[in-house]
């Protein structure tokens, strides 16, 4: 049995838990701390170190990041401080924790977990995972193989980035009804279907727990659209899997 600490960095919170990567199960209750503001590298690294210390962790760790990650180096930072761009996150987190660390895009991590243990398990062909939270994250798979760093939340719709119109944060801040928000999500999904023709679309992030409130309102899509089954644990599990 290989246990890895999974750490999921988001725009508003940073979550962590030890994971049994063979079964995809959390070995302890997850701990969540607020993402610091400003979310500069040193400040976020301090929170990561605090989480590692809290679990008294000495083994490997996997960390997600809400942006493009290329061999451990951050290339984009839409929902965190721009000082991250160009930062070697793998080196930074390794130095502050003293651990062997892997780093990958947050939505890619969630997708990896859902494809192994969740709604995408055993699915062939093209699968698109979308996470709705502070922004919109994306993970694209072909026959189970990840195409990394897609960042489809930044596709432009009606002159604005999709995540500025249809994220969960936008729904909350603008107090949109589920119907109004579903219309925006539907329009976004139609764009993604036109571009990628996925056979399956998995809706993740915390909003996946409320799928009954908006999935029935989506219309006109050829693809099957299903809620993620691992909810907010997916990023933690996927981070651990990547580090393993």
For the chain, give every domain's residue range. Answer: 3-108+233-243, 122-228
Angle (deg, nearest 10), helices 106-117 and 234-243: 90
Residues 6+ apart with CB under 8 A from 94: 100, 101
- pTM summary value: 0.94
Residue range 122-228 forms a domain whose CATH class is: alpha beta
Ordered per-residue pLDDT tens for the chain, 244 residues: 689 999 999 988 999 999 999 999 999 999 999 999 999 999 999 999 999 999 999 999 999 999 999 999 999 998 899 999 999 999 999 999 999 999 999 999 999 999 999 999 999 999 999 999 989 999 999 999 999 999 999 999 999 999 999 999 999 999 999 999 999 999 999 999 999 999 999 999 889 999 999 999 998 799 999 999 998 899 999 999 999 8
Architecture of the 3-108+233-243 domain: 2-Layer Sandwich (3.30)
CA–CA gap between residue 239 and residue 236 (Å, rounded): 5
**Same fold: 3-108+233-243 with 122-228:** yes
Asked if 107 and 127 touch (Cβ cutoff 8 Å), the reply is no
């Amino acid at each position: 049995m290989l246990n890895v600490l999974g750490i999921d960095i988001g725009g508003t919170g940073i979550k962590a838990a030890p994971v049994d990567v063979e079964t995809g199960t959390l070995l302890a209750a997850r701990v969540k701390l607020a993402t610091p503001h400003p979310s500069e590298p040193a400040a976020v690294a301090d929170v990561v170190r605090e989480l590692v210390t809290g679990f008294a962790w000495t083994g490997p760790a996997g960390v997600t990041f809400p942006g493009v990650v290329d061999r451990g180096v951050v290339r984009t930072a839409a929902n965190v401080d721009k000082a991250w761009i160009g930062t070697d996150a793998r080196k930074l987190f390794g130095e502050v924790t003293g651990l062997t660390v892997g780093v990958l895009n947050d939505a890619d991590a969630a997708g990896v977990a859902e494809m192994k243990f969740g709604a995408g398990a055993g699915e062939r062909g093209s699968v698109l995972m979308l996470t709705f939270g502070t922004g919109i994250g994306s993970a694209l798979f072909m026959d189970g193989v990840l195409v990394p760093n897609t960042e489809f939340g930044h596709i432009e719709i009606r002159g604005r980035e999709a995540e500025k119109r249809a994220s969960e944060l936008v729904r909350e801040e603008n107090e949109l009804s589920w119907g109004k928000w579903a219309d925006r999500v539907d329009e976004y999904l139609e764009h993604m279907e036109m571009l990628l023709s996925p056979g399956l679309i998995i809706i993740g992030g915390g909003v996946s727990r409320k799928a009954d409130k908006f999935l029935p309102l989506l219309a006109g899509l050829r693809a099957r659209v299903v809620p993620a089954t691992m909810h907010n644990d997916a990023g933690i599990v996927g981070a651990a899997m990547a580090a393993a």
